[in-house]
Structure 1
Amino acid sequence: MINILIEILLRVPIKSLLCFKTISKRWLSIITHPHFSVLCHLNPNPAILGLFLTCPYSLPAKPEFDYVHFDKKIPTKPPFKNLKFIKNSSGISILQSWNGLMLCSNSPSRLAKTNYYVCNPTTKHYTTLPKSVLETENSKIHGISLAFDPAKSPHYKVVCVCDSMSSPQHYQIEIYSSQTGLLISYDHWNGSIYWISTIGNLTCLYYNLDFERLGVIPMPHFLDDQGTTIAYFGESCGHLHLTKISFYTVRFDVYEMKRDDSEWFVKYKIDFEHPDHELNYCNFTILYLVRGKRKEDAFLVLAAPNDDKVMKYNLINKTFEKFCDYDVEDEQGFYSSTIGAFEYIESLCCV
């Protein structure tokens, strides 16, 4: 009978499951069990329902987030407007979102260091990460990333890159595991974390969590490196993407990494030179690249600060669609082209 009940509950929307926890102790036990959350996420590419948008001008005084739902045919309220369920959430910001979980930090005071949190905005549960043993007066955190694949495990890891305590020319890694609750330090550098290194020549690095190994991936060959900048680097539905845009053109390529991490290849060709649109690099920002289950579901989310709007550009049929208005003007009347965009996926996973 329990197996039949589980099969039924697995077909129920997550929002309804949160309400069903109050029906009985047995239902509560089933829905909150870590194994049940894994069963809910057996799809390796869970659907991204929308994006939370943040602007640096509004965060310190008003830590609220604008939500853009991808399916306009389904009216929906924002899942949340702030992260007040986190204790001492004043000035808190989202650093990363990954498969339903979010990595966040608060604005530190002069006497206290930054606190880091992993939260599940669907269940409104969170955990405070232990203080880094590597962050001292002479050592700082250069980057921190969340790694979480609910189709493989209900546990997540947070990887922190700091200055090495033994050599000023090297970096040291700390890894927090939710399974053990421990923060472990390492002196060395598909289950990997990727980033772009801008020290010297542009380099794509990855750290494999399973084998605790650092690797280097050759960057794609760009025809013209003059006046170009990395405009987007991110993952969607199991695909890693990279774009490099020139200041003088609106034609560029979107690269995708091969599954074996061997090289990049051109996945999409973009051309914004259209009589109905006047986009150039100076007045648009790529916020996110979204891949869906179908080929035609792939699109870019673009911010046009000068026009105070966020747009959707379909990568297959080359059409634009307005998502929402978004004002990025500060109190002094200055505009920021830097907007954070973080995916929202419903999840029951524990933190």
Structure 2
Amino acid sequence: MQDIKLKIPKFSDLEQPSSARIVDSIDDLLIEILLRVPIRSLLCFKTVSKRWLSIITNPQFSILCHLNPNRAIGLFLPSAYSLPAKPQFDYVPFDKKNPPKPPFKNLKFIKDSSGISVLQSCNGLILCSNSPSRLAKTNYYICNPTTKHYTTLPKSVLETENSKIHGISLAFDPLKSPHYKVVCIRDSVSSPQHYQIEIYSSQTGPWRLSGDDPFIADVNFSKGVYWNGSIHWISTIGNLTSLCYNLDFESLGVMPMPPLPDDQSTTITYFGESCDHLHLIKFSFSTVRFDVYEMKRDYSEWFVKYKVDLEHPDELNYYNFTVLSLVRGRREEDAFLVLAIPGDCKAMRYNIIDKTIEKLCDYEGADEQVYFLNAFEYIESLCCV
């Protein structure tokens, strides 16, 4: 944002300015007030005047709105009854007492007649793709669901060489930069059975290869998680392995994985980030007690952050549940899990610290695995795309 200079208005002796006029005439005071206004209200305030519009839509103002990590306020999930060409989404608000309006039911404001699906959410922005026909190419979009603005990612020159895409991930940290990056994992053109990385930056422009050496890996590239300046991928079954890609140094590395028992029924059921913390949950589907792991920022080890016991036989049958999300807050006691109970088609909020539980909403029935793979956090944001 351009340097702000105090402009104290001069009023004649006959004119008695109101407090509102004085505040409105001093830019930095007005900005300080607007920064304390909920984002959904700021969207309405853009119509107050051209000056307010200029302040609220300034990219630097959007960064100031994110000086503290903004936590998610809800989840959007693929509707069980939507058609592939017309994806619909259910919304699970985290605040049952004061639920916000759903951010969207569909993404029709993205002008693509083949329908839009969500691939990843990252700090207020979402990565989307269309559902192309056999004759059409896949298009990728970066969208801000709060402002309903989006941009179409450019085509890669490697698309003409039939290099299959195995995963594409969004990296965005509004505390560091108003710009985002997209990391694409493709088949190597030069080395069969190997991968190569392409990277796109909203600041510098077109896709380019990152690194010279193709590589081999056994992870799920379709589910990348951005944290601590890197994209992270893990395998969720079999011999658990991991891979992380640092965007500043454009280097690949491996992070440790927590120990798993020999019991083949134990697997990773959640891997995600919340308020700048990376979490992993693993448990057997025959138990209601499990540990929540958190990764140290130096990647030295995972440690047990929470111990969860969902033994509440009088309230719900927790032997059939899916962890949709783990949400952290500014206070330790704000941490909670969002659980899906597929048999009852309910979304529940479980407070990890005080062990309380409440129903958030009912959702349209769907296979629980679909929800596990496709639950995306919604964070309000004014950031530009």
Which residue is equivalent to 1:182?
206
* Aligned equivalents of 1:264, 1:89: Cα separation in 2: 44
Q: CA 1:230 to 1:7, structure 2 compared with 1: closer, same or farther past 3 Å?
A: same
Q: Structure 1 segments of 4 or more deviating over 4 A?
A: none
Please tell me the residue identity of whatever aligns with 1:307: D
Cα 1:234/1:344, change in 2 over 3 Å: same
Question: Does the CA contact (< 8 Å) of 2:71 and 2:274 recur in 1?
Answer: no
Kept in 1: contact 2:231–2:246 (CA 8 A): yes
Deviations 1:96-146 (A, max 9, x none): 111111111111110112111000111111001112333456421111111
Name the counterpart of 1:273: 311
CA distance in 2, matches of 1:72, 1:55: 20
Which of the residues 191, 196, 205 maps onto 2:243? 205
- Counterpart amino acid of residue 273 in structure 1: E
TM-score between both structures, scaled by the size of structure 2: 0.84
Contact preservation (8 Å) 1:286, 1:302: yes
Which residue of 164, 174, 181 corresponds with 2:188? 164
Distance of aligned partners of 1:56 and 1:137 in 2 relative to their CA distance in 1, 3 Å threshold: farther
- Alignment of structure 1 residues 262-341 onto 2, 5 Å: 262-276=300-314, 277-280=316-319, 283-329=320-366, 335-339=367-371, 340-341=374-375
Query: Cα offset for 1:162?
Result: 0.7
Quick check: 2:79–2:88 contact (8 Å CA) kept in 1? no
Give the match for residue 348 of structure 1.
Answer: 382
What are the equivalent positions in structure 2 for 1:1-351 lying under 5 Å apart?
A: 1-43=26-68, 45-55=69-79, 58-60=82-84, 62-88=86-112, 90-135=114-159, 138-186=162-210, 187-188=212-213, 190-197=228-235, 201-276=239-314, 277-280=316-319, 283-329=320-366, 335-339=367-371, 340-351=374-385
Query: Relative to structure 1, is the Cα distance of residues 40 and 141 closer, same or farther in structure 2, using a 3 angstrom cutoff?
Result: same
- Can you give the 5+ residue segments of structure 2 that lack an aligned partner in the other structure? 1-25, 216-227
Stretch of structure 1 that moved more, 145-154 or 180-189: 180-189
Contact 2:237 2:268 in 1 (8 A): no
2:108, 2:116 within 8 Å by CA — same for their partners in 1? no
User: What is the one-letter code of the residue matched to 2:254?
Assistant: V
Kept after mapping to 2: 8 A contact 1:34/1:154: yes
CA distance in 1 between counterparts of 2:192 and 2:28 reads: 56
Amino acid across the alignment from 2:164: K
* Whole-angstrom CA distance in 1 between matches of 2:71 and 2:236: 32
Structure 1 length normalisation: TM-score?
Answer: 0.91
Amino acid at match of 2:356: T
Give the letter for the 1:147 counterpart.
Answer: A
Flag the 1:89–1:181 CA change in 2: closer, same or farther, 3 A: farther
Q: Hey, what's the Cα distance between the residues in 2 that align with 1:275 and 1:350?
A: 47
**Bigger shift: 236-245 or 24-33?**
24-33
Aligned counterparts of 1:183 and 1:211: Cα–Cα separation in 2: 17
Q: Is the 8 A contact 2:181 2:200 kept in 1?
A: yes
Contact 1:289–1:299 (8 Å) recurs in 2: yes
Q: How much has 1:53 moved relative to structure 2?
A: 1.8
Shift of 1:23: 2.8
Q: Which runs of 5+ in 1 are unaligned?
A: 330-334
Q: Deviations over 1:278-313 (max 9, x none)?
A: 222xx2111111111111111111111111111112
Distance (whole Å) between structure 2 residues aligned to residue 286 and residue 120 of structure 1:
25
| Amino acid in the other structure paired with 1:167 | S
One-letter amino acid of the counterpart of residue 335, structure 2: A
Residues 328 and 121 from structure 1, CA distance in 2 versus in 1: closer, same or farther, beyond 3 angstroms? same
Distance 1:166 1:93 in 2: 31
Residues 271/136 of structure 1: CA separation in 2 closer, same or farther (3 Å cut): farther
Is the alpha carbon distance of 1:20 and 1:247 closer, same or farther for their aligned partners in structure 2, counting shifts above 3 Å?
closer
